[in-house]
């Protein structure tokens, strides 16, 4: 069994908390790769898009020679996208401002939409030149059904800034007082599919190193 840390290539505090709750010791780093602008276009293959973005984040760190001092740890990058319900079926990235967040919530509330989280992982070894060959990717999909919400709730949610930095303008754990049902792994919606992730880590013989 390997014992090491997760090197989380993400700015998301929610992903970090999921890993800590599962008992993993982690280090957060900012990947040099920035997500491209996400216009409201229809998505042909959401899983491929999410895993490609996660792959780009991981590779942007693997190309940095100084990063490979983390030998024995696991590099983890992820990207979450929200797909609006049909007939729109458009990609909902992070809102650009409060008005954009209001627009997204208007699309999602009272409907069922799709959330996809793509993941890229690599067990870091001593041969930094070949690290990319061990890069593994997968995606997980969940369906989220939201109830309707009164205007007062929407206004309060937006004014509190809960929409900032979140695909689709929301975080599952902050949707209080409205009916929300998830078909699939709820952690996929939060930003990191922990069920699949644990299986991969176990298959790699990686054991959580608790602080």
Q: How confident is the model at residue 110 (pLDDT cuts 50, 70, 90)?
A: very high
Domains of the chain and any CATH numbers: 2-208 (3.90.950.10)
The predicted pLDDT at position 141 comes to 98
Could you read off the pLDDT of 123-164 as tens digits, one per residue? 887 555 555 568 999 999 999 999 999 999 999 999 999 999
The sign of the torsion formed by the CA atoms of 61, 66, 71, 73 equals negative
The predicted pLDDT at position 9 comes to 94
Triad 118, 15, 210: Cα angle to 5°: 120
Lowest mean per-residue pLDDT among 5-9, 85-89, 195-199: 85-89
Q: Is 70 exceeded by the pLDDT of residue 68?
A: no
Q: Please tell me which residue in 21, 30, 45, 79 is annotated as part of the active site.
A: 79
Is residue 45 part of the annotated active site? The answer reads no
What value does the mean pLDDT of the chain take? 88
The predicted pLDDT at position 69 comes to 65
């Amino acid at each position: 069994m390997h014992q090491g840390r997760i090197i989380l290539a993400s700015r998301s505090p929610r992903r970090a908390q999921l890993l800590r709750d599962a008992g993993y010791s982690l280090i957060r780093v900012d990947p040099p790769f920035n997500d491209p602008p996400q216009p409201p276009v229809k998505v042909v293959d959401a899983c491929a898009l999410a895993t490609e973005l996660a792959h780009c984040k991981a590779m942007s760190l693997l190309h940095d020679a100084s990063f490979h001092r983390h030998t024995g740890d696991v590099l983890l990058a992820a990207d979450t996208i929200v797909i609006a319900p049909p007939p729109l079926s458009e990609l909902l990235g992070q809102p650009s401002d409060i008005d954009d967040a209001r627009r997204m919530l208007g699309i999602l509330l009272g409907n069922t939409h799709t959330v996809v989280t793509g993941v890229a992982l690599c067990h870091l070894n001593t041969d930094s030149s070949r690290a990319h060959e061990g890069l593994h990717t997968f995606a997980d999909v969940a369906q989220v059904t939201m109830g309707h919400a009164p205007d007062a709730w929407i206004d309060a949610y937006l004014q509190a800034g809960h929409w900032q930095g979140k695909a689709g303008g929301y975080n599952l754990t902050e949707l209080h007082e409205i009916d929300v049902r998830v078909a699939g792994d709820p952690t996929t919606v939060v930003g990191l599919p922990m069920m699949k992730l644990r299986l991969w880590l176990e298959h790699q013989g990686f054991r959580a190193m608790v602080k």
